[in-house]
Structure formats: structure tokens, C-alpha cells
């Protein structure tokens, strides 16, 4: 019994120490929290405000972009409608806001159309300058730049040396390229002007039998291939003879 009585005060002392230590620990944590809030609270608050501001700005930007794209679309459609009505001046005016549009696609399309309108109005100098601007602008989509190169070369064709035409378009005058028809025809004619009928004939034959080439170009190419002694109809059914035609331009480069 005496031993039990001796142990009781010890247990009470332990409990008192634990309570005291817990209170000290809580006081220290509270003090640390106050210190942290005082030192970093303003930065945490600023970070939250900046984050919310950035989110709001992004949402506003997205909505603004959608509205801006819709406006650009309306302007482009208005220009196309004017062209269909043969109102070239009205089309040119409708395209003006699009010439410096943020959207690269609309900007490129507007610049190419403006150059086309200038060519249609018998102002080749302005048209060629317009096409050249599109070609030189690396921020524009490549298909529009290739189209501008085709149009510019066609506008200048009579003033260019045949070799210049070949050098410009040889990368596009290959089967499978979207511009194979237009580029291939100009390259083939340039080969003829350079007295390279051995390159021109097979290229005309390839153009004539390519279903992806516009029908008008295929018809002309078929006639020219025949003049050069190439039977495009026979080539179309003879894979062994048709295969080498895919390398006509590459062969031309090696001979040049």
C-alpha cells in the first residue's frame, strides 16, 4: 500500500508536465503561425490575387479571340460575296481590316486575295508586290506562301528566264504536292523553252494521268505529252513505264 501511495504523486507530476509541455507547444505553434502570417501573409495574398487575375484575363482573352474570329470571318465572307458579284472595289475595301489581322490564316488569305484583285484590275506590279509580301512572311501558313509563289510566278512568267521558273517551282512540281498541277505545267513549259523535251514530255505525261490535277491542266498536258511522243494513256496502264516519271524533276535537277 505504501508503494502505491508513493507512485501516485509521481503520476500526477507526469500529467502536470505533459499538460505544461502541451501548452508550451501550442503557444510556440501559435507564435510561429503569427510570425509566418506577418512575414509571408501579404505575399500569399498577392499570389492569390495574381492567380485569380490571370485566370480572369485568360477567360477574357479566350472570349475576345472568339468574338474577334467571328468578326474576321464576317469580313472575309463579305469580301468573297463582293467578288462573286464582280464588285472588286468593294471586295478590296472589305479585305482591308483583314490585311493586318492577328489570325495568320485570315491575314494570308486577305493578302493573296488583294493581290488577285490587283491582277484582275490589270495592275500586275501591285499584284506581284502583294504576292512577294506573302512569300516573304514566315509567320504565314506555308500553303498560302506556296500559293503566292505559284501566282507570282504565273504573273511574271513571260518576263522570267526558264531556269528561274524551274528553280522557283521545282520543289512544288512533284506528284503528291497540292500544287503539282500548276507548278508542274509551268516547269514542263520551261523545260520546252530550254530545249529539254526529254524532261518536258515525261512531266506532261505525269500531269495528264494524275487524277489530283485539275481537268483543264490534265487536258493540256495530255496534248503536250502527245506532241512530245509520250502516250499518257498507255503510261497510265503501265506501272513500269509510269514509275520513272515520279523522278522527272529530280532528274532535271541532276542534269542542270
Instruction: Identify the residue whose cell numbers are 504576292.
Output: 131
In the chain, count H helices and then E strands: 12, 0
Return the percentage of the chain with pLDDT > 70, whole number.
62
Question: Maximum distance among all alpha carbons in the chain?
Answer: 131
pLDDT digits (tens, 9 = 90+) for 30-53: 565 556 555 545 544 444 444 444
Handedness of CA 51, 53, 57, 59 (dihedral sign): positive
Cα 232 from chain centre: 36
Cell output for 3: 508503494
Per-residue cell: 245 = 516519271
Its pTM surpasses 0.85: no
Per-residue cell: 45: 495574398
Q: Would you say 200 and 192 are in contact if contact means Cβ atoms under 8 Å apart? A: yes
Per-residue model confidence as pLDDT tens digits over 3-17: 444 555 555 555 555
Closest CA to 192 of 218, 236, 226, 162: 162
Cell triple for 44: 500569399
Confidence of residue 20 (pLDDT cuts 50, 70, 90): low
Residue 38 backbone phi and psi in degrees, to 5: -65, -40
Instruction: Give dist(CA 167, CA 153) in Å, integer.
Output: 11
Q: Coil, strand, or helix at residue 99? A: coil
CA angle 250, 194, 156 (to 5 degrees): 90
Amino acid at each position: 500500500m505504501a508503494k502505491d501511495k508513493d507512485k501516485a504523486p509521481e503520476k500526477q507530476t507526469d500529467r502536470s508536465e505533459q499538460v505544461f509541455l502541451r501548452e508550451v507547444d501550442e503557444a510556440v505553434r501559435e507564435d510561429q503561425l503569427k510570425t509566418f502570417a506577418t512575414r509571408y501573409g501579404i505575399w500569399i495574398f498577392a499570389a492569390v490575387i495574381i492567380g485569380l487575375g490571370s485566370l480572369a484575363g485568360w477567360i477574357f482573352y479566350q472570349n475576345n479571340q472568339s468574338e474577334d474570329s467571328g468578326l474576321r470571318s464576317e469580313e472575309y465572307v463579305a469580301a468573297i460575296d463582293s467578288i462573286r458579284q464582280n464588285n472588286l472595289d468593294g471586295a478590296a475595301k472589305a479585305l482591308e481590316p483583314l490585311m493586318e489581322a492577328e489570325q495568320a490564316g485570315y491575314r494570308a488569305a486577305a493578302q493573296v486575295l488583294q493581290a488577285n484583285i490587283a491582277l484582275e484590275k490589270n495592275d500586275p506590279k501591285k499584284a506581284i508586290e502583294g504576292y512577294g509580301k506573302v512569300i516573304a512572311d514566315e509567320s504565314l501558313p506555308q500553303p498560302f506562301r506556296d500559293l503566292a509563289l505559284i501566282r507570282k510566278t504565273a504573273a511574271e512568267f513571260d518576263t522570267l528566264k526558264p531556269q528561274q521558273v524551274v528553280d522557283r517551282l521545282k520543289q512544288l512540281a512533284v506528284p503528291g504536292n497540292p500544287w503539282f498541277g500548276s507548278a508542274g505545267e509551268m516547269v514542263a513549259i520551261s523545260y520546252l523553252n530550254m530545249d529539254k523535251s526529254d524532261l518536258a514530255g515525261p512531266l506532261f505525261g505525269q500531269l495528264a494521268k494524275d487524277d489530283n490535277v485539275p481537268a483543264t491542266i490534265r487536258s493540256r498536258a495530255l496534248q503536250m505529252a502527245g506532241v512530245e511522243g509520250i502516250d499518257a494513256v498507255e503510261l497510265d496502264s503501265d506501272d513500269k513505264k509510269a514509275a520513272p516519271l515520279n523522278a522527272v524533276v529530280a532528274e532535271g535537277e541532276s542534269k542542270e
